[in-house]
Chain A
Amino acid sequence: MDIPYTSKVRPDTGLYNGKLGVWLFLASEVMLFGGLFSAYTYLRIGAPLDTWPHGWMNVTLGTINTVLLALSAITTLLAWAALKTKQFGRYKLFGLLTILLACAFLGIKSYEYRDKLTHYQVQLNDGRVADGHLVENNKDADYILLRGHYAANATELLDGRAKGHPAHEELKIARTDIKSLKNYGPALNNFLAIYFSITGLHAIHILGGIIVFAYLWGPGSKMWFTAPVRFTNRVETAGLFWHFVDLVWIFVFPLFYLT
Protein backbone atom coordinates (compact mmCIF):
# COMPACT_ATOMS: atom_id res chain seq x y z
CA MET A 1 0.00 0.00 0.00
CA ASP A 2 1.36 3.42 -0.93
CA ILE A 3 1.31 6.10 1.74
CA PRO A 4 -0.04 9.25 0.04
CA TYR A 5 1.63 12.66 0.04
CA THR A 6 5.01 11.64 1.45
CA SER A 7 6.81 13.64 -1.25
CA LYS A 8 4.20 15.81 -2.88
CA VAL A 9 2.24 18.52 -1.14
CA ARG A 10 -1.36 17.65 -0.25
CA PRO A 11 -3.56 20.21 -2.05
CA ASP A 12 -5.96 20.97 0.82
CA THR A 13 -3.33 21.46 3.57
CA GLY A 14 -0.52 22.77 1.39
CA LEU A 15 1.91 20.48 3.24
CA TYR A 16 3.15 16.94 2.82
CA ASN A 17 1.60 14.63 5.41
CA GLY A 18 4.79 14.03 7.37
CA LYS A 19 5.24 17.72 8.08
CA LEU A 20 1.65 18.22 9.25
CA GLY A 21 2.01 15.10 11.38
CA VAL A 22 5.21 16.24 13.08
CA TRP A 23 3.76 19.69 13.80
CA LEU A 24 0.70 18.08 15.41
CA PHE A 25 3.06 15.91 17.45
CA LEU A 26 5.05 18.99 18.49
CA ALA A 27 1.81 20.72 19.54
CA SER A 28 1.13 17.79 21.88
CA GLU A 29 4.71 18.06 23.14
CA VAL A 30 4.14 21.73 24.00
CA MET A 31 1.27 20.57 26.19
CA LEU A 32 3.42 17.90 27.85
CA PHE A 33 6.28 20.26 28.67
CA GLY A 34 3.79 23.08 29.31
CA GLY A 35 2.33 21.07 32.19
CA LEU A 36 5.79 20.64 33.70
CA PHE A 37 6.73 24.30 33.25
CA SER A 38 3.42 25.19 34.85
CA ALA A 39 4.32 22.94 37.80
CA TYR A 40 7.71 24.69 38.00
CA THR A 41 6.03 28.11 38.10
CA TYR A 42 3.61 26.97 40.79
CA LEU A 43 6.33 25.44 42.94
CA ARG A 44 8.60 28.44 42.58
CA ILE A 45 6.09 31.16 43.38
CA GLY A 46 4.61 28.97 46.11
CA ALA A 47 7.95 28.49 47.85
CA PRO A 48 8.28 30.62 51.01
CA LEU A 49 10.62 33.58 50.64
CA ASP A 50 14.33 32.68 50.33
CA THR A 51 13.76 28.93 50.30
CA TRP A 52 14.13 28.37 46.54
CA PRO A 53 17.71 27.20 45.81
CA HIS A 54 19.93 29.38 43.67
CA GLY A 55 23.25 28.59 41.99
CA TRP A 56 23.06 24.83 42.53
CA MET A 57 23.84 24.00 38.89
CA ASN A 58 27.17 24.22 37.12
CA VAL A 59 26.73 27.27 34.85
CA THR A 60 29.83 26.48 32.76
CA LEU A 61 28.58 22.99 31.89
CA GLY A 62 25.05 24.29 31.31
CA THR A 63 26.36 27.00 28.96
CA ILE A 64 28.50 24.50 27.03
CA ASN A 65 25.48 22.20 26.67
CA THR A 66 23.29 25.09 25.48
CA VAL A 67 25.84 26.03 22.81
CA LEU A 68 26.28 22.38 21.79
CA LEU A 69 22.54 21.97 21.33
CA ALA A 70 22.27 25.24 19.36
CA LEU A 71 25.15 24.08 17.16
CA SER A 72 23.48 20.71 16.60
CA ALA A 73 20.32 22.57 15.51
CA ILE A 74 22.45 24.29 12.85
CA THR A 75 24.17 21.08 11.71
CA THR A 76 20.83 19.32 11.32
CA LEU A 77 19.66 22.19 9.10
CA LEU A 78 22.88 22.01 7.10
CA ALA A 79 22.35 18.25 6.65
CA TRP A 80 18.90 19.02 5.25
CA ALA A 81 20.29 21.88 3.10
CA ALA A 82 22.91 19.46 1.72
CA LEU A 83 20.13 17.14 0.54
CA LYS A 84 18.18 20.07 -0.93
CA THR A 85 21.27 20.95 -2.96
CA LYS A 86 21.88 17.27 -3.79
CA GLN A 87 25.14 16.83 -1.88
CA PHE A 88 24.80 13.48 -0.17
CA GLY A 89 28.41 13.51 1.12
CA ARG A 90 27.80 16.74 2.99
CA TYR A 91 24.56 15.32 4.39
CA LYS A 92 26.58 12.43 5.82
CA LEU A 93 29.09 14.86 7.37
CA PHE A 94 26.54 17.17 9.00
CA GLY A 95 24.30 14.26 10.00
CA LEU A 96 27.22 12.65 11.82
CA LEU A 97 28.12 15.97 13.48
CA THR A 98 24.54 16.30 14.74
CA ILE A 99 24.68 12.82 16.29
CA LEU A 100 28.07 13.49 17.90
CA LEU A 101 26.93 16.85 19.34
CA ALA A 102 23.80 15.23 20.74
CA CYS A 103 25.90 12.46 22.33
CA ALA A 104 28.22 15.10 23.82
CA PHE A 105 25.16 16.87 25.29
CA LEU A 106 23.99 13.63 26.91
CA GLY A 107 27.51 12.89 28.15
CA ILE A 108 27.71 16.25 29.93
CA LYS A 109 24.18 15.83 31.30
CA SER A 110 25.09 12.37 32.65
CA TYR A 111 28.14 13.87 34.35
CA GLU A 112 25.93 16.54 35.95
CA TYR A 113 23.44 13.90 37.13
CA ARG A 114 26.24 11.81 38.59
CA ASP A 115 27.63 14.87 40.34
CA LYS A 116 24.23 15.59 41.92
CA LEU A 117 23.56 11.99 42.91
CA THR A 118 26.93 11.61 44.67
CA HIS A 119 26.55 14.98 46.43
CA TYR A 120 25.10 14.59 49.94
CA GLN A 121 23.57 16.69 52.67
CA VAL A 122 24.25 15.05 56.02
CA GLN A 123 22.07 16.33 58.84
CA LEU A 124 23.96 15.94 62.10
CA ASN A 125 22.49 15.43 65.56
CA ASP A 126 23.95 18.75 66.75
CA GLY A 127 21.93 20.70 64.15
CA ARG A 128 24.78 21.34 61.72
CA VAL A 129 24.82 20.06 58.16
CA ALA A 130 27.78 18.49 56.37
CA ASP A 131 27.59 19.11 52.62
CA GLY A 132 29.77 17.48 49.99
CA HIS A 133 30.54 14.51 47.79
CA LEU A 134 30.54 11.09 49.32
CA VAL A 135 34.02 9.56 49.26
CA GLU A 136 33.44 6.45 51.35
CA ASN A 137 30.31 4.85 52.76
CA ASN A 138 31.31 1.36 53.79
CA LYS A 139 28.45 -0.25 55.68
CA ASP A 140 30.88 -2.16 57.92
CA ALA A 141 32.68 1.03 58.99
CA ASP A 142 31.32 3.17 61.82
CA TYR A 143 31.96 6.38 59.90
CA ILE A 144 31.49 7.94 56.45
CA LEU A 145 33.91 10.10 54.49
CA LEU A 146 32.66 13.22 52.75
CA ARG A 147 34.59 15.81 50.72
CA GLY A 148 32.90 19.09 51.55
CA HIS A 149 32.28 21.51 54.39
CA TYR A 150 30.07 22.11 57.41
CA ALA A 151 27.20 24.61 57.48
CA ALA A 152 25.25 25.86 60.47
CA ASN A 153 22.02 24.64 58.85
CA ALA A 154 20.50 23.65 55.48
CA THR A 155 19.31 27.23 54.79
CA GLU A 156 22.93 28.36 54.54
CA LEU A 157 23.33 26.03 51.57
CA LEU A 158 20.43 27.45 49.53
CA ASP A 159 22.53 30.03 47.70
CA GLY A 160 25.24 28.14 45.86
CA ARG A 161 26.78 31.38 44.60
CA ALA A 162 27.05 33.00 48.03
CA LYS A 163 30.57 33.99 48.98
CA GLY A 164 32.15 32.76 52.18
CA HIS A 165 31.62 29.02 51.83
CA PRO A 166 34.61 27.35 53.49
CA ALA A 167 37.06 25.37 51.36
CA HIS A 168 36.24 21.71 50.81
CA GLU A 169 38.09 19.21 52.92
CA GLU A 170 37.74 15.55 53.79
CA LEU A 171 35.24 15.13 56.64
CA LYS A 172 35.16 11.95 58.71
CA ILE A 173 31.70 11.69 60.30
CA ALA A 174 30.77 9.06 62.85
CA ARG A 175 27.53 7.22 62.01
CA THR A 176 26.25 7.86 65.53
CA ASP A 177 26.40 11.62 64.81
CA ILE A 178 24.23 11.36 61.69
CA LYS A 179 20.54 12.17 61.88
CA SER A 180 19.85 11.78 58.13
CA LEU A 181 21.83 11.31 54.92
CA LYS A 182 20.29 12.52 51.65
CA ASN A 183 21.80 12.98 48.23
CA TYR A 184 20.93 15.82 45.82
CA GLY A 185 18.40 13.58 44.09
CA PRO A 186 14.74 14.34 43.32
CA ALA A 187 13.69 13.51 46.89
CA LEU A 188 15.74 16.29 48.53
CA ASN A 189 13.41 19.18 47.66
CA ASN A 190 10.93 20.55 45.10
CA PHE A 191 13.66 22.30 43.10
CA LEU A 192 15.52 19.06 42.44
CA ALA A 193 12.28 17.11 41.91
CA ILE A 194 11.17 19.42 39.09
CA TYR A 195 14.76 19.72 37.79
CA PHE A 196 15.11 15.95 37.39
CA SER A 197 11.57 15.64 35.95
CA ILE A 198 12.05 18.26 33.24
CA THR A 199 15.68 17.56 32.34
CA GLY A 200 15.07 13.80 32.50
CA LEU A 201 12.16 14.06 30.07
CA HIS A 202 14.26 16.34 27.90
CA ALA A 203 17.14 13.83 27.93
CA ILE A 204 14.75 11.08 26.80
CA HIS A 205 13.84 13.33 23.86
CA ILE A 206 17.53 13.81 23.05
CA LEU A 207 18.00 10.05 23.12
CA GLY A 208 15.01 9.60 20.81
CA GLY A 209 16.47 12.19 18.44
CA ILE A 210 19.83 10.39 18.40
CA ILE A 211 18.12 7.10 17.48
CA VAL A 212 16.17 8.76 14.63
CA PHE A 213 19.21 10.64 13.30
CA ALA A 214 21.37 7.51 13.53
CA TYR A 215 18.79 5.58 11.52
CA LEU A 216 18.55 8.34 8.88
CA TRP A 217 22.35 8.55 8.75
CA GLY A 218 22.87 4.77 8.56
CA PRO A 219 20.45 2.20 7.11
CA GLY A 220 17.67 4.73 6.46
CA SER A 221 19.88 6.79 4.15
CA LYS A 222 19.55 4.17 1.39
CA MET A 223 16.23 5.82 0.57
CA TRP A 224 18.17 8.76 -0.91
CA PHE A 225 19.00 6.61 -3.95
CA THR A 226 15.42 5.48 -4.58
CA ALA A 227 13.22 8.33 -3.29
CA PRO A 228 15.37 11.44 -2.68
CA VAL A 229 12.51 13.90 -2.08
CA ARG A 230 10.85 11.60 0.43
CA PHE A 231 14.17 11.10 2.21
CA THR A 232 14.81 14.86 2.31
CA ASN A 233 11.35 15.30 3.84
CA ARG A 234 12.15 12.69 6.49
CA VAL A 235 15.32 14.57 7.43
CA GLU A 236 13.33 17.81 7.56
CA THR A 237 10.69 16.40 9.92
CA ALA A 238 13.39 14.88 12.17
CA GLY A 239 15.02 18.33 12.16
CA LEU A 240 11.77 19.99 13.25
CA PHE A 241 11.62 17.64 16.25
CA TRP A 242 15.24 18.48 17.02
CA HIS A 243 14.58 22.22 16.97
CA PHE A 244 11.74 21.69 19.42
CA VAL A 245 14.12 19.86 21.76
CA ASP A 246 16.50 22.84 21.44
CA LEU A 247 13.61 25.22 22.11
CA VAL A 248 12.72 23.47 25.37
CA TRP A 249 16.35 23.65 26.50
CA ILE A 250 16.47 27.39 25.75
CA PHE A 251 14.01 27.81 28.66
CA VAL A 252 15.31 25.00 30.86
CA PHE A 253 18.80 26.52 30.94
CA PRO A 254 17.89 29.95 32.38
CA LEU A 255 15.21 28.60 34.73
CA PHE A 256 17.46 26.07 36.46
CA TYR A 257 20.98 27.40 35.92
CA LEU A 258 20.70 31.17 35.87
CA THR A 259 17.74 32.37 37.95
Chain B
Amino acid sequence: MSDTPAKTFDSYLRRYATIFVVIVVGIGLMVGCSYSGLAPSVRLALILGLAAVNASLVVCFLMHLVTERKLLLSMLFITALYFVALLVLSTYGYHDVPHLKSGV
Protein backbone atom coordinates (compact mmCIF):
# COMPACT_ATOMS: atom_id res chain seq x y z
CA MET B 1 0.00 0.00 0.00
CA SER B 2 2.56 2.54 -1.12
CA ASP B 3 0.34 5.60 -1.25
CA THR B 4 1.55 9.13 -0.96
CA PRO B 5 0.96 10.46 2.56
CA ALA B 6 -0.65 13.70 1.36
CA LYS B 7 -3.98 12.00 0.52
CA THR B 8 -7.06 12.93 2.48
CA PHE B 9 -9.45 10.43 4.02
CA ASP B 10 -12.17 11.51 1.60
CA SER B 11 -9.99 10.72 -1.41
CA TYR B 12 -9.43 7.20 -0.03
CA LEU B 13 -13.16 6.89 0.61
CA ARG B 14 -14.07 7.90 -2.95
CA ARG B 15 -11.56 5.53 -4.50
CA TYR B 16 -12.55 2.50 -2.41
CA ALA B 17 -16.28 3.22 -2.68
CA THR B 18 -15.92 3.23 -6.49
CA ILE B 19 -14.09 -0.10 -6.43
CA PHE B 20 -16.73 -1.56 -4.11
CA VAL B 21 -19.51 -0.53 -6.50
CA VAL B 22 -17.69 -2.13 -9.45
CA ILE B 23 -17.19 -5.35 -7.46
CA VAL B 24 -20.87 -5.45 -6.47
CA VAL B 25 -21.86 -4.95 -10.13
CA GLY B 26 -19.55 -7.85 -11.00
CA ILE B 27 -21.22 -10.03 -8.36
CA GLY B 28 -24.65 -9.07 -9.74
CA LEU B 29 -23.58 -9.97 -13.28
CA MET B 30 -22.25 -13.34 -12.10
CA VAL B 31 -25.56 -14.17 -10.41
CA GLY B 32 -27.47 -12.94 -13.50
CA CYS B 33 -25.33 -15.14 -15.76
CA SER B 34 -25.98 -18.19 -13.61
CA TYR B 35 -29.73 -17.82 -14.16
CA SER B 36 -29.42 -17.00 -17.87
CA GLY B 37 -30.40 -19.44 -20.56
CA LEU B 38 -26.88 -19.59 -22.01
CA ALA B 39 -25.19 -22.90 -22.76
CA PRO B 40 -23.54 -24.31 -19.59
CA SER B 41 -20.00 -24.01 -20.97
CA VAL B 42 -20.54 -20.36 -22.03
CA ARG B 43 -22.17 -19.61 -18.67
CA LEU B 44 -19.25 -21.19 -16.80
CA ALA B 45 -16.70 -19.23 -18.85
CA LEU B 46 -18.58 -15.94 -18.32
CA ILE B 47 -19.00 -16.45 -14.58
CA LEU B 48 -15.36 -17.41 -14.05
CA GLY B 49 -14.28 -14.49 -16.28
CA LEU B 50 -16.26 -12.07 -14.12
CA ALA B 51 -14.81 -13.67 -10.98
CA ALA B 52 -11.33 -13.14 -12.43
CA VAL B 53 -12.12 -9.45 -13.09
CA ASN B 54 -13.30 -9.00 -9.48
CA ALA B 55 -10.23 -10.84 -8.20
CA SER B 56 -7.97 -8.56 -10.28
CA LEU B 57 -9.63 -5.50 -8.77
CA VAL B 58 -9.00 -6.82 -5.27
CA VAL B 59 -5.38 -7.72 -5.97
CA CYS B 60 -4.47 -4.61 -7.97
CA PHE B 61 -6.33 -1.89 -6.08
CA LEU B 62 -7.34 -3.17 -2.64
CA MET B 63 -4.04 -4.99 -2.04
CA HIS B 64 -2.29 -2.15 -3.94
CA LEU B 65 -0.20 -4.55 -5.98
CA VAL B 66 -0.10 -2.12 -8.93
CA THR B 67 2.11 0.20 -6.88
CA GLU B 68 4.13 -2.45 -5.02
CA ARG B 69 7.83 -3.30 -5.28
CA LYS B 70 9.19 -5.57 -8.00
CA LEU B 71 10.41 -8.01 -5.35
CA LEU B 72 6.83 -8.80 -4.36
CA LEU B 73 5.69 -9.07 -7.96
CA SER B 74 8.42 -11.57 -8.86
CA MET B 75 7.64 -13.62 -5.76
CA LEU B 76 3.93 -13.64 -6.59
CA PHE B 77 4.66 -14.51 -10.21
CA ILE B 78 6.28 -17.76 -9.05
CA THR B 79 3.29 -18.42 -6.76
CA ALA B 80 0.87 -17.79 -9.62
CA LEU B 81 2.83 -20.20 -11.84
CA TYR B 82 2.56 -22.86 -9.13
CA PHE B 83 -1.18 -22.28 -8.83
CA VAL B 84 -1.74 -22.53 -12.59
CA ALA B 85 0.46 -25.65 -12.74
CA LEU B 86 -1.68 -27.27 -10.03
CA LEU B 87 -4.85 -26.71 -12.01
CA VAL B 88 -3.36 -27.66 -15.38
CA LEU B 89 -1.63 -30.80 -14.05
CA SER B 90 -4.80 -32.12 -12.44
CA THR B 91 -6.68 -31.60 -15.72
CA TYR B 92 -3.83 -33.17 -17.69
CA GLY B 93 -3.64 -36.06 -15.24
CA TYR B 94 -7.34 -36.73 -15.69
CA HIS B 95 -7.03 -36.90 -19.47
CA ASP B 96 -4.05 -39.20 -19.08
CA VAL B 97 -6.17 -42.01 -17.59
CA PRO B 98 -8.23 -43.62 -20.39
CA HIS B 99 -10.91 -45.19 -18.17
CA LEU B 100 -11.60 -41.81 -16.50
CA LYS B 101 -11.68 -39.99 -19.81
CA SER B 102 -14.28 -42.35 -21.19
CA GLY B 103 -16.39 -41.85 -18.05
CA VAL B 104 -16.53 -45.59 -17.29
CB within 8 Å of B: which residues of A?
13-15, 20, 23-24, 27, 30-31, 34-35, 37-39, 41-42, 45-46, 48-49, 59, 63, 66-67, 70-71, 73-74, 77-78, 80-82, 84-85, 87, 90, 236, 239-240, 243-244, 246-247, 250-251, 253-254, 257-259
Which residue of B has the minimal Cβ distance to A239?
B1
From residue A130, how far is it (CB to closest CB) to chain B in Å? Answer: 28
Establish whether residues A37 and B87, one from each chain, have CB atoms under 8 Å apart when the complex forms: yes
CB within 8 Å of A: which residues of B?
1, 3, 5, 7-9, 12-13, 16-17, 19-20, 23-24, 27, 30-31, 33-34, 43-44, 47-48, 50-51, 54-55, 58-59, 62-63, 69, 71-72, 75-76, 78-80, 82-83, 86-87, 89-91, 93-94, 100, 103
Establish whether residues A24 and B31, one from each chain, have CB atoms under 8 Å apart when the complex forms: no
Which residue of B has the minimal Cβ distance to A66?
B27
Establish whether residues A80 and B1, one from each chain, have CB atoms under 8 Å apart when the complex forms: yes
Q: How many A-B residue pairs have CB under 8 A?
A: 133
Establish whether residues B9 and A90, one from each chain, have CB atoms under 8 Å apart when the complex forms: yes
Residues of A within 8 A of B82 (CB): 30-31, 34
Q: A46-B100, A236-B1, A240-B63 are in contact. Are A14 and B55 (CB under 8 A)?
A: no
Which residue of B has the minimal Cβ distance to A62?
B31
Query: 24 interchain pairs (CB within 8 A)?
Result: A15-B71, A15-B72, A23-B72, A23-B76, A27-B75, A30-B80, A38-B90, A42-B90, A42-B91, A66-B27, A70-B20, A73-B62, A74-B16, A81-B12, A81-B13, A84-B5, A85-B9, A246-B58, A253-B27, A254-B34, A254-B47, A258-B47, A259-B34, A259-B48
Establish whether residues B44 and A23, one from each chain, have CB atoms under 8 Å apart when the complex forms: no
Which residue of A has the minimal Cβ distance to B97?
A46
Establish whether residues B58 and A250, one from each chain, have CB atoms under 8 Å apart when the complex forms: yes
Q: A15-B72, A30-B79, A71-B20 are in contact. Are A85 and B87 (CB under 8 A)?
A: no
**CA A78 to CA B47, docked complex, whole Å:** 29
Residues of B within 8 A of A20 (CB): 71-72
**CA A226 to CA B59, docked complex, whole Å:** 31
From residue B47, how far is it (CB to closest CB) to chain A in Å? Answer: 5
Residues of B within 8 A of A87 (CB): 9
Residues of B within 8 A of A23 (CB): 72, 75-76
Residues of B within 8 A of A46 (CB): 94, 100
Contact of A74 among B5, B19, B89, B100 (CB under 8 A): B19
